C-alpha cells in the first residue's frame, strides 16, 4: 500500500468515526439501493472518494522534497505613509489664464516632519502657474526672529506679481485668533480666516490694489496683542 492509499484509508475512517451510529444502518442502505437503483449510489460513493482525494492532493502539492508541508504565501502588506489634508482644498480666488478659468487653492497636509501647506492653481495644464509649498514652522519663527506671523502671496511672488495680485495669505501660530491687516498708510484691509489646523491658522487678506506695503496686528483669544508689525 502506497502513501496515498494509506492517507485515503485513514481519512475515510476518520470521516466515518464522525458520523452518528445507527442500529439500522444495513436496512437503511438496502432501502436507498432499492429506491435509487443499483448504480447511482456507486456514483455518489465515487464522488465522495474524489472529494477526499482532492482534499489529500492539495496538501501533497504543498509538500516539499524535505517532507515538510510548505506554508502558502501570506498577504503582502505595503506600508503607506499616513498623510491627509486636515482641511482639504480651500479655494482662495479665481482667475483666467490663456482662456482657461482656474482657481487658487490652499491645501494643508500632515507629514512626518510637520504640517505642509501648498498654494496651487487648478486645473494644472500646459500653462502652469507658479505656486508655493512650505512647512509650518515651530512657532515663533527664527526668520523673522520671534515672529508668529508669516505672509505669502497667493500664487506668483512679490517682485513679479501673479494672477491674483490683491490677495495675500497670512499663516499664523495657532494662538492667534484675531488678525487685523492694514495697507501701508494704515487703511484697514478685508481679512478672513479660511481654515485652521493644529499647527497654524490661515487668514486671507484682499487689498484694494496691490500689497506694496502692509501692516498687521495679531491677538489671542483674550484680546492681548501678540505681534504688531509694518512691512
Spatial separation of the C-alpha atoms in residues 170 and 202, rounded to whole Å: 6
pTM of the entire predicted model: 0.61
Nearest to 170 by CA among 218, 219, 220, 113: 218
Please give the average per-residue pLDDT across 101-107, as a whole number: 95
- 54 lies in a domain? yes
pLDDT in tens, 205-217: 998 876 678 999 9
Same domain, 11 and 123: no
- 122 lies in a domain? yes
Q: Which domain holds residue 159?
A: 90-230
Please give the average per-residue pLDDT across 73-91, as a whole number: 48
Residue 97 C-alpha from the chain's centroid: 31
Domain count along the chain:
2
Higher per-residue confidence, 171 vs 84:
171
Higher per-residue confidence, 169 vs 213:
169
Question: Binning pLDDT at 50, 70 and 90, where does residue 127 land?
Answer: confident
The pLDDT of residue 39 is 46
Same domain, 123 and 205: yes
The pLDDT of residue 124 is 85
pLDDT in tens, 48-59: 444 443 343 333
Same domain, 48 and 145: no
Spatial separation of the C-alpha atoms in residues 6 and 4, rounded to whole Å: 5
Same domain, 37 and 142: no
Strand, coil or helix: 49: helix
Same domain, 114 and 50: no
Handedness of CA 11, 17, 22, 23 (dihedral sign): positive
- 108 lies in a domain? yes
- 106 lies in a domain? yes
| Distance in Å from the first CA to the final CA of the chain | 96
Same domain, 96 and 208: yes
Same domain, 189 and 123: yes
Print the SS3 string covering 76-113.
CCCCCCCCCCCCCCEEEEEEEECCEEEEEEEEEEEECC
Domain end among 42, 61, 80 = 61
Amino acid at each position: 500500500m502506497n502513501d496515498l492509499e494509506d492517507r485515503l484509508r485513514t481519512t475515510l475512517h476518520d470521516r466515518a468515526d464522525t458520523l452518528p451510529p445507527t442500529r439500522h444502518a444495513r436496512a437503511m442502505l438496502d432501502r436507498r439501493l432499492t429506491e435509487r437503483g443499483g448504480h447511482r449510489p456507486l456514483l455518489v460513493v465515487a464522488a465522495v472518494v474524489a472529494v477526499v482525494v482532492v482534499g489529500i492532493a492539495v496538501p501533497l502539492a504543498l509538500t516539499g522534497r524535505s517532507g515538510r508541508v510548505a506554508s502558502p504565501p501570506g498577504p503582502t502588506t505595503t506600508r503607506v505613509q499616513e498623510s491627509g489634508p486636515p482641511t482639504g482644498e480651500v479655494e482662495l480666488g479665481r482667475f483666467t489664464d490663456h482662456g482657461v478659468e482656474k482657481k487658487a487653492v490652499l491645501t494643508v497636509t500632515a507629514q512626518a516632519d510637520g504640517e505642509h501647506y501648498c498654494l496651487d492653481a487648478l486645473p494644472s495644464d500646459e500653462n502652469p502657474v507658479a505656486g508655493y509649498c512650505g512647512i509650518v514652522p515651530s512657532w515663533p519663527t527664527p526668520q523673522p526672529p520671534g515672529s508668529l506671523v508669516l505672509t505669502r502671496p497667493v500664487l506668483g511672488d512679490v517682485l513679479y506679481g501673479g494672477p491674483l495680485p490683491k490677495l495675500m495669505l497670512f499663516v499664523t501660530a495657532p494662538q492667534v485668533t484675531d488678525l487685523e491687516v492694514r495697507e501701508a498708510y494704515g487703511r484697514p484691509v478685508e481679512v478672513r480666516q479660511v481654515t485652521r489646523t493644529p499647527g497654524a491658522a490661515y487668514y486671507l487678506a484682499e487689498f484694494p490694489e496691490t500689497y506694496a506695503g502692509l501692516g498687521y496686528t495679531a491677538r489671542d483669544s483674550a484680546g492681548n496683542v501678540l505681534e504688531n508689525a509694518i512691512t
